[in-house]
Amino acid sequence: METAGNGRRIAASFTDWKQKAESLNAGLIENLAVAAFVLNANHEVVVWNKACEELTGVKAAGMVGSRDHWKPFYPEKRQTLADVIIDGNYEDIGRLYADHFHSRLINKGLESEGWFRNLGGADRYIILSAAPTYDSNGRLVFVTETFQDITERKNLEEALKESERRLRMIIESEPQCVKLLAPDGALLAMNPSGLAMIEADSFEQVKGKSVLGLVLPEYRDAFKRLLGKVFRGESASLEFDMVGMKGTSRRLSTQSVPFRDTTGKITALLGITTDITQQKKLEEQLRHAQKMEAVGQLAGGIAHDFNNILSAIIGYADLLKGRVEGNDPLKNYADHILLASQKAVNLVKNLLAFSRKQTISLCPVELNALIKGIEKLLLRLIREDIELVVRCCREDLIAMVDSGQIEQVLMNLVTNAKDAMPGGGFLVIQTGTADLNDEFIGGGNFRTGRYALISVTDTGSGMETQTTKRIFDPFFTTKEVGKGTGLGLSMTYGIIEQHGGRIDVQSEPGIGTTFKIFLPLIDAPAREQKKEVPDKSALRGGAETILVAEDDASLRKLTSAILREYGYTVIEAENGEDAVEKFAANRDDIRLAVLDVIMPRANGKEAREQIRRMSPETKAIFMSGYAPDVINGNGMEETDRNFILKPITPGVLLSKVREILDGLPAS
């Protein structure tokens, strides 16, 4: 009886639904593109549309009339709603289902969304809607539930979010400045590297402010033109100087392009800016080195030719002086010629120092002792209204230097300091040490390591930045016409470079100037440098036959005249090829060959090799206006001892000839 009663109630319910469904257009729900089902007031499924079949994999025939509408969404093997809901508005969805499970009726509608696990064989992101419908008496008639599957859209959104996250991470970790600017230069966005570049503590500190205030005035018009060009749709680039919010000057290079929205409208300037300050410093150092090298080549060539002329002048004046006796006026004339020639010799030395082709005699020298040794000489170079202070560190500073050259450097710097203090002041020479790394050195032949530091500081007029950049250039001077050649500091630069060191300058107008000299330290005991001067009274001649090969006719005749004056037989050759031919014709007589290193047709080395093959026992002396280390680079191994530097004096020539012929130790 009970079963029959239940059947009648179900039949009546379906009859009632059919009547109401006609007014609600059940066919519309059936053909919805989204999954949907309809429950009556007893939670029984009355509609299960085709899209719901596709979403759940459960056919309508198995669901209509059932109260288990939740099972396709919430399989029996799962124990909690948490197993169904992966993400999203779990509480809302859970509350909806709680209403289903614990209440006879759903009293209000609900919308929520979230991930459902393994729905229809896959994880799905669903927008769930539940809408109750009531009759005119306020009684629940049915509930329509829709399940909109937006999994693909959600996956795309998640992928977009991940892409944006990665892009943001890339931009924020980018070592260059990445920024967005408005047409007036106002900052719309900037990554951390850019904030560090402009020395801002946070983006909020600079948001909406124009970057033009950081650009140096001389570049602002160019920066405005760049902004205009980009907002007209073109790309643009610019190098400019900027001062950060905390005062640091930088040289920057920016590449800029239009930044467009989805409609193609230009909304901002997208710029990538690089700090090229260090790069520009290195380029400037390279240009300066190349310029100095080029002028040095010219100076070296001039000095070489001038040496030949000076050798002839000094040699003939010396011979003339030796022939004159007593108070003959000619002797006085010869002395004046020699004195003037010596000044010319010093000028040539300066040119060679600048070109780094001057011969230098290196030995371990304690720099503190060297400075103290010339302190009295330096005092004579300055005026009484300038106070000289020498502060030497306690540590011994031993470096491989030519004492005379370093003394010349200090005298040049002290003289410049004196000229910079016409009203008097203080001049401080101080020593210490410095450990120099690759960043400070900036490449080149200058090596990292421990250096002696000699600083020369004055309280004079100082110099502008543009002047300090050119201070070591040859022929550049800040002195009045007729009061400076512009060679002093360039020669100083050449001397320090030749010692493997470096010289820098720091100056500020009205404050003063500091020159810093860095010389590599060595671990060796100091040794005193001595320069031997031949004693004319001890000069000896001989009767040997000597071959003299020199392409400069005046110098060749002078050398031959000096040797003949002291008893030698001389055979002259005007180039390397001629020297080999003359030697081949007189090989049994010639004991010594005096060869100029640089000659046409065959140089001194080539001539020496051919002579050695014919007669290994024949000795040789080389002459040149270049330093022996430069010549040795061309394979002149024996020139260290058998070498005479031009300009040649008779005493040096005769002493060297006897030294080599007699096999004596080098003087």
Indicate the pLDDT class of residue 629, thresholds 50, 70 and 90: very low
Q: Does residue 564 surpass a pLDDT of 80? A: yes
Q: State the pLDDT at residue 344.
A: 78
Mean pLDDT (whole number) for 356-376: 82
Q: With cut-offs at 50, 70 and 90, classify the pLDDT of residue 626.
A: low
Collapsed DSSP state (helix, strand, coil) of residue 122: strand
Closest by CA position to 472, among listed 451, 489, 454: 489
Which is nearest to 26 in space by CA: 150, 133, 136, 147?
Answer: 133
**Least confident among 227-236, 263-272, 335-344:** 335-344
Q: How many CA atoms lie within 13 A of 349 on its CB side?
A: 14
Q: Helix (H) and strand (E) counts for the chain?
A: 21, 23
Taking 90 as the threshold, does the pLDDT of residue 452 lie above it?
Answer: yes
To 10 degrees, what angle do helices 329-355 and 488-498 make?
Answer: 60
398-410 tens-digit pLDDT: 999 988 888 888 9
Q: How far is CA 199 from the centre of its chain?
A: 21
Q: What is the pLDDT of residue 105?
A: 38
Taking residues 210-230, what's their average pLDDT? Answer: 93
pLDDT attached to residue 10:
52
Residue 634 pLDDT: 46
Half-sphere exposure of 163 (CA within 13 A, CB side): 6
Instruction: Go through 571-601 and write b for each residue having 16 or more CB atoms within 10 A of its CB, e for each that does not.
Output: bbbbbbbbbbebbeeeeeebbbbbbbbbbee
Q: Which residues of 123-141 are buried (b: 16+ CB within 10 A; e: fewer)?
A: ebbbbbbbebeeeeeeebb
Residue with tokens 């002078």: 558
Please check whether residue 155 is in contact with residue 164, taking contact to mean a CB–CB distance below 8 angstroms. no
pLDDT at 382 over 70: yes
What's at 531, amino acid-wise?
Answer: K
Higher pLDDT pick, 425 / 124? 425
Strand order in the sheet with 425-436: 386-391, 425-436, 449-458, 512-520, 502-508
Whole-number Å distance between alpha carbons of 437 and 426: 32
8 Å CB contact between 524 and 398: yes
Question: Stretch 432-440: mean pLDDT, rounded?
Answer: 76
The more confident residue out of 526 and 50 is 50
**Sign of torsion, CA 517 522 528 534?**
negative
Mean pLDDT along residues 428-447: 72
- The region of weakest confidence among 72-76, 236-240, 483-487, 595-599 is 483-487
* Structure-token pair, residue 126: 């669903």
Highest average pLDDT, of 62-71, 113-122, 131-140, 460-469, comes from: 460-469
Helix/strand/coil (H, E, C) string of 258-297?
EEECCCCCEEEEEEEEEECHHHHHHHHHHHHHHHHHHHHH
Confidence of residue 488 (pLDDT cuts 50, 70, 90): low
What is the pLDDT at residue 150?
Answer: 86
pLDDT band for 357, please (50, 70, 90 cuts).
low
Output the six-digit token pair for 173.
């970790």
CB 220, CB 184: distance < 8 Å:
no
Amino acid residing at 167? L
Q: What is the mean pLDDT of residues 575-579?
A: 93
What's the half-sphere exposure (Cβ side, CA atoms, 13 Å) at 279? 7
pLDDT tier, 20 (very low <50, low <70, confident <90, very high otherwise): low
Give the range among 124-138, 346-360, 446-460 with minimum mean pLDDT: 346-360
The conformation of residue 361, written as its DSSP 8-state character, comes to -
Q: Across the strands, what pairs with 516? A: 455, 504
pLDDT given at position 403: 85
Sign of CA dihedral 602, 604, 609, 611: positive
For the chain, percent of residues with pLDDT exceeding 70:
77
Confidence tier at 7 by pLDDT (50, 70, 90): low
Average pLDDT over residues 296-304: 66
User: In this model, does residue 529 exceed pLDDT 60?
Assistant: no
Q: Tokens for 615?
A: 């007669």
Q: Residue 633 in contact with residue 514, Cβ under 8 Å? A: no
Which domains are assigned to the chain?
13-155 (3.30.450.20), 174-275 (3.30.450.20), 363-520 (3.30.565.10), 536-662 (3.40.50.2300)
| Closest CA relative to residue 299, chosen from 498, 528, 62, 465 | 498
**Long-range interactions of 67-71: CB distance < 8 A, separation 24+:** 67/42, 67/43, 69/37, 69/39, 69/43, 69/45, 69/145, 70/97, 70/100, 70/101
Q: Dihedral of CA 148/152/158/161: which sign?
A: negative
Mean pLDDT, the chain, rounded, equals 79
State the pLDDT at residue 448: 79
Kindly tell me if the per-residue pLDDT of 427 is higher than 70. yes
> How far is residue 85's CA from residue 88's CA, in Å, rounded to a whole number?
8
Residue 443 banded pLDDT, cuts 50, 70, 90: very low
